[in-house]
């Protein structure tokens, strides 16, 4: 199977080409079949590869395939090569599996849209780029995929290019796409610097080479901690941009301008997790830079809390989920920061399941309500759209951390490892888990329970979504429920599967600083119980405020109006960025770079050199007097000079 | 190749008087200096006079100075090629004068002047 | 340098040639300039005879003095040229400059020929100087070349037949050109 791993990104690429070039003239069914079929073919190939990989012993579980040599100049050589080990296998399965389900869902959701073929083409292109990202065997190919998913994110967010997204700020959908791209770019700058530093330090960009040398440095200390810290922090800046952490998270809420399947696939399950994947992939570098790991943990935790608080007051159903995504990504980075890399990937996987489920469910709700997105105008959908309700509830319970579902196991793993590293961080993370449960069930209660608050016209068209949309929901619900059992404590198959891929670079006899904390099992059980209590408390609080008494929510909002407004206005972060960065930059561009630098200096040089020649010519022109004798004088003068030269020699 | 032999001329040795064969010449330097002076005078004429005809005549003077150099060298190096070359120079000078004077006449018809500093149509 | 007939004739002819040349370029009436040029030509013919080139001397008189200068005089009279203006307006600088140039040119040529002012490390000039000095000492052998008609004719029609024929074509071209250029446009 090793020689066929190139097929995994190849199928979506073919789907993109066919749908992109010919989709305009095909009917919806054909486009949908090609798009979803490409994803399915990728998934099946990935499953076969997984099967083969399982057959090998843990140390040998690496497939590599080099397609061709891309660049070779001097010391710098980069191949287009793929690497499948446990980590990338997990990512590939998540991307292709969840991706396939979302492709199927989109056939129903995007039915009748004007750019149907364009949507599927971009979706396939995104899948291709994401697979390049996770399967690339060197940093450069990963960066190509990184940029590719950024591009597809821009294309898909701005899919409804002729619509306004936010009426209050006037942000168009295309503008939201631009915002995402530009903010990502800022992160990419850090990423690129990190790649340069990696090349300067290790002389190569290939994962195997770099990580072997990094691992060897554990024992020999030939690369200083300072260099590792610098690399780690620079790469983390890139992760901040792509995975929407503080301070570069501002693009994700506005990315909800895109169609809901896009939010599910790109901004929940796959693209935003690229940062986490990258940090975990470079775990050997992070492990040797403790300061960087502290930074990662703190930034992750801060993001978790920050986003969770903003989700409490959001009223757009997709924005609640967007803040929730930012918050959960913070958990993943917290896990990486305390050294629990496998726990981070575990949460990535379960999060992909339930967050995609929640987004697709939200899409189903919007579909049923003819496009309504404000949860204040929803209610009582429980009896009108039962399938959506039950699957949504499953996702909500999973994310809240109710025991037995997948989210419980993954979140608890993170909390446990955080406690072992620093109890202070644990307390804050636990509180954030409670807030998560609160806002999640606030949304569920507002949407599905209580009295309907929809308009009459909307009520009239209320209907459950078609099978093509509800079947993926059901599959994802099943995965959300049972998906966590691979990682239960003490029988942690997931950890056994993933750990060798990360520790194979550590030479025998060297020691790790983080990630080796041990604690007693009873303590772990105790903490587990604590988190269950906190989650249930959150759900109860949401019930009290949003369901038990009508109007209780508004009362609380008035009582805490100061905090409420702050949260509702998203801490004014967008306004601060606008004033601090956007406006000065625009002013600078217009008044300095354009009016002075471009017009005066650059145009001045270009026009000036033309004027210089013109001036020179108008002076030299006077030589042509038209009087022959002057020319004769010049002739004689030249003759004298030549003769003089010959004589002097 | 064999030329037809001419009948022996019955002319008396008057030829000896008319064209005596000179065996010793003035030193070459004098001839060269003289032709250089004539050449310089010709150049001065070209540069200093306004009348196109006089300029043309100065050019002829320059050509003749060169002719003198050729003949002088031919005599001193005992080589007839110099004189042959002078012959050809004269031919070319003749043709050149004919055409040049025709040009001056043509210009005179248009501009009514032969003074070269008034003919500056090529001025920028 | 010996005072014999040859040197006397040489100096006489050279004085005549130089004086009439200078008068030619200085005189303002173009007809007088033409006459002076003819005198110069006669002096040059004398030189040619002195240099064992009687044929060249004859052809010189016939072609130059007899045909070319006559053509010059025809054109001068055709154009009805008057005396040139005495002074030109504000062209003094050019005249001074031109005179200067001519003097420098003459000086350079003199240096080239004489070789006595040259710097010591130019070999070409010294070699030329030696050749000229060697030549200047005169040749006293008896085998001289006589440039009489027979000799020149033989060379022209054997070795130099091709240039000779081409020269005749050139003259033809000159004739045609002159006729076309000077033709009055008959509209």
Supply the pLDDT for residue C117: 32
Distance in Å, alpha carbon of A620 to nearest chain C alpha carbon: 19
- Provide mean pLDDT across the span C74-78: 90
Supply the pLDDT for residue C176: 93
Of C104, C118, C124, the CB nearest to A640: C104
Per-residue model confidence as pLDDT tens digits over A594-629: 888 888 888 889 999 999 999 999 999 888 888 888
Per-residue model confidence as pLDDT tens digits over A391-450: 999 999 999 988 888 888 889 888 988 888 888 889 999 999 999 999 999 889 888 887
Q: Which chain B residues touch A629 with a CB distance below 8 Å? A: 46-47, 50, 55, 116-117
List B residues 52-91 in contact with C (Cβ-Cβ < 8 A). Answer: 53-54, 56-58, 60-61, 64, 67-68, 71-72, 74-81, 83-84, 86-88, 90-91
Question: Between B8 and C40, where is the model more confident?
Answer: C40
Per-residue model confidence as pLDDT tens digits over C97-106: 888 888 888 8
* Proportion of chain A in helix, strand, coil states, percent, rounded to 5: 75, 5, 20
DSSP secondary structure, A397-408, as one string: HHHHT-TTSHHH
Residue A544: pLDDT band by 50, 70, 90 thresholds? confident
Distance in Å, alpha carbon of A181 to nearest chain B alpha carbon: 59
Looking at the predicted structure, is the pLDDT value of residue B71 above 50? yes
- Provide mean pLDDT across the span A230-251: 90
Looking at the predicted structure, is the pLDDT value of residue C116 above 50? no
Looking at the predicted structure, is the pLDDT value of residue C87 above 90? no
Residue A110: pLDDT band by 50, 70, 90 thresholds? confident
CA–CA gap between residue A434 and residue A400 (Å, rounded): 8
Looking at the predicted structure, is the pLDDT value of residue A374 above 60? yes
Looking at the predicted structure, is the pLDDT value of residue A454 above 90? no
Looking at the predicted structure, is the pLDDT value of residue C140 above 60? no
In percent, the amount of chain A with pLDDT more than 90 equals: 31
Whether A629 and B123 lie within 8 Å, measured CB to CB? no
For B49, name the nearest residue in chain A, comparing CA atoms only. Answer: A629
Looking at the predicted structure, is the pLDDT value of residue C43 above 90? yes
Mean pLDDT taken over chain A:
86
**Residue C72 touches chain B, beta carbons under 8 Å:** yes
Q: Which chains touch A (3 or more CB pairs under 8 A)?
A: B, C
Question: Between A113 and B72, where is the model more confident?
Answer: B72
Any residues with CB less than 8 A from the CB of A493 and at least 6 apart, and which? A486, A487
Supply the pLDDT for residue C109: 83
Looking at the predicted structure, is the pLDDT value of residue A294 above 50? yes
Residue A139: pLDDT band by 50, 70, 90 thresholds? very high
CA–CA gap between residue C92 and residue A9 (Å, rounded): 88
For A645, name the nearest residue in chain C, comparing CA atoms only. Answer: C108
Tokens representing residue A101 in the block: 């389900």
> What is residue C29's three-state secondary structure?
coil
The residues pairing with A374 across neighbouring beta strands, listed in sequence order, are A316
Residue B30: pLDDT band by 50, 70, 90 thresholds? confident
Phi and psi, residue C179, nearest 5°? -65, -45
Supply the pLDDT for residue B123: 80
Residue A298: pLDDT band by 50, 70, 90 thresholds? very high
- What are the DSSP E strand ranges found in C39-156? none
Of residues A237, A266, A319, A260, the one with CA closest to residue A152 = A266
Whether C105 and A633 lie within 8 Å, measured CB to CB? no
Instruction: Tell me how far apart the terminal alpha carbons of chain A are, to the nearest angstrom.
Output: 82
Supply the pLDDT for residue C142: 33
User: Which of C31, C47, C55, C87 to probe by mutation at the B interface, max B CB count within 10 Å?
Assistant: C47
Residue C82: pLDDT band by 50, 70, 90 thresholds? confident
Residues in A lying within 8 Å of B, measured between beta carbons = 621-622, 624-629, 632-633, 636
Q: Which chain C residues touch B117 with a CB distance below 8 Å? A: 88, 91
Mean pLDDT taken over chain C:
79
Residue C118: pLDDT band by 50, 70, 90 thresholds? very low
Whether C98 and B48 lie within 8 Å, measured CB to CB? yes
Phi and psi, residue A445, nearest 5°? -65, -40
Q: If you search the block for the tokens 């050809």, which residue do you land on?
A: B88
- Provide mean pLDDT across the span A253-269: 87
Supply the pLDDT for residue C129: 52
- Provide mean pLDDT across the span B69-98: 91
Per-residue model confidence as pLDDT tens digits over A337-354: 998 888 899 999 999 999
Whether A626 and B55 lie within 8 Å, measured CB to CB? no
- Provide mean pLDDT across the span A35-56: 90
User: Which of C101, C107, C111, C122 to probe by mutation at the A interface, max A CB count within 10 Å?
Assistant: C101
Per-residue model confidence as pLDDT tens digits over A323-339: 999 999 999 999 999 98
Q: Which chain C residues touch A649 with a CB distance below 8 Å? A: 122, 124
* Burial of A230: CB neighbours in 10 Å, binned 0-12, 13-18, 19+: middle
**Residue B92 touches chain C, beta carbons under 8 Å:** yes
Q: Which chain A residues touch B50 with a CB distance below 8 Å? A: 629
Supply the pLDDT for residue A508: 64
CA–CA gap between residue C185 and residue C187 (Å, rounded): 6
Tokens representing residue A249 in the block: 């998270």
Supply the pLDDT for residue B20: 58
Supply the pLDDT for residue C123: 47
Q: Which chain A residues touch B121 with a CB distance below 8 Å? A: 626
Contact A177, A155 (CB under 8 A): yes
> What distances in angstroms separate CA A194 from CA A68, A197, A322, one per listed residue?
25, 5, 28
CA–CA gap between residue C174 and residue A365 (Å, rounded): 104
Question: Between A567 and A106, where is the model more confident?
Answer: A106
CA–CA gap between residue A443 and residue A553 (Å, rounded): 12
Any residues with CB less than 8 A from the CB of C3 and at least 6 apart, and which? none
Which of A6-20, A504-518, C8-22, C26-40 bottoms out in mean pLDDT, i.e. has the lowest?
A504-518
Per-residue model confidence as pLDDT tens digits over A559-572: 777 777 777 777 78
Whether C53 and B86 lie within 8 Å, measured CB to CB? yes
Whether A633 and C97 lie within 8 Å, measured CB to CB? yes
Residues in B lying within 8 Å of A, measured between beta carbons = 43, 46-47, 50, 55, 116-117, 119-124
């Amino acid at each position: 199977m090793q020689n066929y791993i190139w097929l995994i990104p190849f199928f979506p690429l073919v789907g993109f080409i066919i749908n992109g070039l010919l989709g305009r003239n095909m009917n919806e069914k054909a486009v949908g079949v090609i798009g979803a079929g490409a994803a399915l073919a990728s998934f099946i190939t990935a499953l076969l590869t997984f099967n083969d990989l399982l057959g090998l012993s843990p140390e040998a579980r690496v497939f590599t395939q080099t397609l061709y040599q891309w660049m070779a100049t001097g010391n710098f050589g980069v191949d287009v090569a793929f690497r499948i080990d446990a980590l990338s296998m997990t990512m590939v399965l998540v991307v292709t599996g969840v991706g396939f389900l979302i492709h199927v869902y989109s056939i129903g959701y995007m039915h009748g849209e004007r750019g149907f073929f364009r949507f599927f083409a971009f979706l396939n292109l995104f899948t291709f780029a994401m697979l390049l990202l996770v399967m690339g065997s060197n940093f450069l190919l990963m960066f190509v995929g990184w940029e590719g998913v950024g591009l597809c994110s821009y294309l898909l967010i701005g899919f409804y290019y002729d619509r306004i997204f936010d009426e209050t700020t006037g942000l168009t959908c295309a503008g939201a796409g631009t915002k995402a791209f530009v903010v990502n770019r800022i992160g990419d700058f850090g990423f690129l610097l990190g790649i340069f530093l990696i090349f300067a330090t290790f002389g190569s960009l290939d994962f195997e080479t770099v990580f072997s040398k990094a691992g060897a440095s554990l024992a020999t200390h030939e690369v200083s901690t300072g260099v590792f810290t610098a690399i780690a922090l620079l790469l983390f800046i890139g992760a901040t941009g792509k995975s929407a952490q503080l301070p570069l998270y501002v693009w994700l809420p506005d990315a909800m301008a895109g169609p809901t399947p896009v939010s599910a696939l790109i901004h929940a399950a796959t693209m935003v997790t690229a940062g986490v994947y990258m940090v975990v992939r470079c775990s050997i570098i992070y492990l040797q830079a403790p300061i960087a790991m502290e930074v990662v943990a703190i930034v992750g935790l801060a993001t978790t809390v920050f986003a969770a608080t903003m989700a409490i007051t959001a009223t757009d159903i997709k924005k609640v989920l967007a803040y929730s995504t930012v918050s959960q990504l913070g958990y993943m980075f917290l896990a990486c920061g305390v050294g629990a890399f496998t726990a981070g990937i575990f949460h990535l996987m379960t999060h992909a399941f339930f967050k995609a489920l929640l987004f697709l469910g939200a899409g189903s709700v919007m579909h049923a309500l003819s496009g309504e997105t404000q949860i204040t105008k929803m209610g009582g959908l429980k009896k009108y759209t039962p399938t959506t309700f039950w699957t949504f509830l499953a996702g909500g319970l999973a994310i809240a951390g109710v025991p037995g579902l997948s989210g419980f196991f993954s979140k608890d793993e993170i909390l446990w490892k955080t406690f072992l590293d620093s109890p202070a961080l644990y307390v804050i993370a636990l509180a954030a888990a409670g807030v998560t449960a609160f806002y999640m069930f606030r949304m569920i209660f507002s949407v599905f329970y209580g009295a309907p608050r929809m308009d009459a016209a909307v009520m009239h068209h209320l209907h459950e979504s078609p099978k093509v949309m509800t079947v993926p929901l059901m599959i994802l619900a099943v995965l959300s429920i049972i998906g966590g059992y691979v990682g239960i404590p003490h029988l942690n198959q997931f950890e056994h599967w993933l750990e060798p891929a990360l520790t194979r670079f550590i030479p025998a006899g060297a020691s790790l600083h983080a990630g080796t904390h041990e604690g007693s099992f009873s303590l772990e059980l105790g903490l587990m119980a604590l988190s269950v209590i906190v989650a249930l408390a959150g759900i109860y609080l949401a019930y009290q405020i949003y369901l038990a008494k009508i109007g209780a929510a508004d009362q609380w909002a008035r009582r805490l109006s100061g905090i409420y407004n702050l949260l509702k206005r998203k801490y004014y972060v967008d306004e601060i960025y606008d004033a601090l960065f956007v406006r000065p930059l625009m002013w600078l561009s217009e008044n300095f770079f354009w009016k002075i630098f471009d017009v005066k200096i650059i145009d001045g040089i270009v026009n000036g050199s033309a004027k210089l020649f013109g001036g020179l010519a108008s002076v030299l022109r006077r030589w042509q007097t038209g009087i022959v004798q002057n020319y004769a004088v010049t002739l004689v003068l030249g003759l004298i000079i030549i003769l003089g030269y010959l004589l002097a020699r | 190749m064999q030329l037809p032999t001419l009948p022996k001329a019955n002319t008396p040795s008057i030829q000896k008087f008319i064209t005596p064969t000179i065996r010793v010449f003035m030193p070459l330097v004098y001839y060269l200096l003289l032709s250089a002076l004539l050449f310089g005078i010709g150049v001065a004429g070209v540069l200093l006079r306004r009348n196109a005809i006089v300029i043309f005549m100065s050019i002829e003077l320059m050509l003749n100075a060169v002719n003198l150099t050729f003949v002088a060298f031919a005599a001193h190096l005992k080589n007839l090629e110099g004189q042959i070359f002078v012959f050809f120079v004269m031919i070319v000078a003749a043709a050149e004068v004919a055409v040049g004077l025709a040009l001056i006449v043509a210009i005179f018809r248009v501009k009514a002047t032969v003074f070269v500093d008034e003919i500056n149509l090529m001025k920028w | 340098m010996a005072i014999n007939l040859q040197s006397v004739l040489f100096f006489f002819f050279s004085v005549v040639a130089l004086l009439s040349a200078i008068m030619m370029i200085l005189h303002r009436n173009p007809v007088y300039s033409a006459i002076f040029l003819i005198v110069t030509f006669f002096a040059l013919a004398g030189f040619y005879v002195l240099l064992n080139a009687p044929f060249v001397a004859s052809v010189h008189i016939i072609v130059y003095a007899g045909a070319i200068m006559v053509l010059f005089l025809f054109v001068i009279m055709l154009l009805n040229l008057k005396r040139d203006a005495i002074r030109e307006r504000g062209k003094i600088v050019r005249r001074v400059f031109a005179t200067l140039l001519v003097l420098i040119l003459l000086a350079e040529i003199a240096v080239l020929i004489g070789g006595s002012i040259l710097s010591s490390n130019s070999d070409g000039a010294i070699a030329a100087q030696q050749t000229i000095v060697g030549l200047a000492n005169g040749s006293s052998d008896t085998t001289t070349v006589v440039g009489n008609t027979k000799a020149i004719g033989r060379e022209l029609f054997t070795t130099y037949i091709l240039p000779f024929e081409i020269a005749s074509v050139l003259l033809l071209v000159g004739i045609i050109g002159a006729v076309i250029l000077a033709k009055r446009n008959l509209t």
